[in-house]
Amino acid sequence: MSIPVARFGRTGHESTRTVFGAASLSRVTQDVADRTLEVLLRHGVNHIDVAASYGDAELRVAPWLKREPGRFFLATKTGERKAAAARAELERSLDRLGVDHVDLWQLHNLADPIEWDTALSPGGAIEAAVEAREQGLVRFIGVTGHGAQIAANHRRSLERFDFDSVLLPYNWLTMRLTYYAENFEALAATCAERDVGVQTIKSIAVGPWLGRERTRSTWYEPLEAQGDIDLAVWWVLGRPGVFLNTTGDVDLLPRVLDAAERFSARPADAEMQALAERSRQQPLFV
């Protein structure tokens, strides 16, 4: 068995439908990171999503890229909103990753209305992205975000600029929120029409920690039992055309990839409802 692949939008890259979320490398040693690479190679994952703000993650990925040249579609992100600062952050990312270009550079968590306008206006980060693309430092440009408004926000972003990819939350419980679901469906339709890659996050989120002891490195409480993770992962992969970015905890990564490798069909809503009830799942964003 192997994890399915699909065309990542207009990039044309045949990416594994589970993209490695390198936020999980933010605060690990290189030894732990290298053991994580072995997990990725074992499951055939060929797409890495990292960010300048993910602690040491770019540094941890760099030796992988040297060891396995050409194996991974490489994406990183900038949280800067003005052109000069974004360009400086891109150059830092390239240096930390040890590469001369990345496949995808994303405007990270573009949710706040003021920051959104700054980044997508003259003198904003989008100018740095276009210039970097023209110079061959990045091949494609994307946008990411969190929150209950982000599906609607990404729709506005695609009206302002022709992004190559979007990234946003997607799980069964989040899609029970009518406003979010309506905007997600509209966004997905636009992305399909324009051949924009759709990446999803928070597939195995249970909800906020709410004062409970944080036993994982994720900022949210995740599902942990293999059977529960199976259902959550299969539900996401049951939607054609979307990619699942793996969880921000290296110890849970093998369970997510194992589930993806065994995917065959999307669970019924009744199964997902039962999962939500027994795990006491709560929306991350309201």
Tens-place pLDDT, residues 183-231: 999 999 999 999 999 999 999 888 765 666 665 666 567 888 999 999 9
| Residue-by-residue DSSP string for 5-41 | EEE-GGG--EEESEEEEGGGGTT--HHHHHHHHHHHH
CB atoms within 10 A of CB 1: 10
11: closest CA among 256, 243, 203?
243
The chain-wide mean pLDDT, for the chain, equals 94
pLDDT of residue 222: 85
pLDDT of residue 208: 67
Give this prediction's pTM. Answer: 0.95
205-208/220-222 β-pairing: antiparallel
| Residue-by-residue DSSP string for 170-231 | --TTGGGSHHHHHHHHHHHHHHHHHT-EEEEE-TTEEEE-TTS---SSSSEEEP-SHHHHHH
* Sequence-distant (≥ 6) Cβ neighbours of residue 281 within 8 angstroms: 173, 205, 206, 207, 275
Q: Pick the residue with more confidence: 249 or 257?
A: 257
Task: Please give the torsion angle defined by the CA atoms of residues 46, 51, 52 and 53, in that order, rounded to the nearest 10 degrees.
Answer: -140
Tens-place pLDDT, residues 84-118: 999 999 999 999 999 999 999 999 999 999 999 99
Task: State how far the alpha carbon of 233 is from the alpha carbons of 105, 166, 245, in Å.
Answer: 26, 19, 10
**Mean pLDDT of the region 230-250:** 95
